[in-house]
Amino acid sequence: MTKKVKVTLVKSRHGRLKRHQACVAGLGLRRINHSVIVENTPENRGMINKVSYMLRVEDA
């Protein structure tokens, strides 16, 4: 069983780099204060690390 993390968008994605916007969309986040629970895989962890300045990450 893989571990899961809760990811919350805390800053707007408008005006950011296109790649950063794509990472936020890839995680399934749509608007500020929207939270999703994702699996802690290397792919998801890479996206989280790239846009960590816009996110709050907690264990789920």
6-58 per-position pLDDT tens digit: 999 999 999 999 999 999 999 999 999 999 999 999 999 999 999 999 999 99
Residues in the chain: 60
Predicted pLDDT at 2: 78
Number of Cβ within 10 Å of residue 54's Cβ equals 21
H or E stretch covering 8: strand 4-9
Burial class (CB in 10 A: 0-12, 13-18, 19+), 35: middle
Is 0.85 surpassed by the pTM of this model? yes
Task: Please name the CATH architecture into which domain 4-59 falls.
Answer: 2-Layer Sandwich (3.30)
Predicted pLDDT at 58: 96
Q: How far apart are CA 30 and CA 8, in angstroms?
A: 10
Residue 1 has pLDDT above 90, yes or no: no
Number of Cβ within 10 Å of residue 44's Cβ equals 19
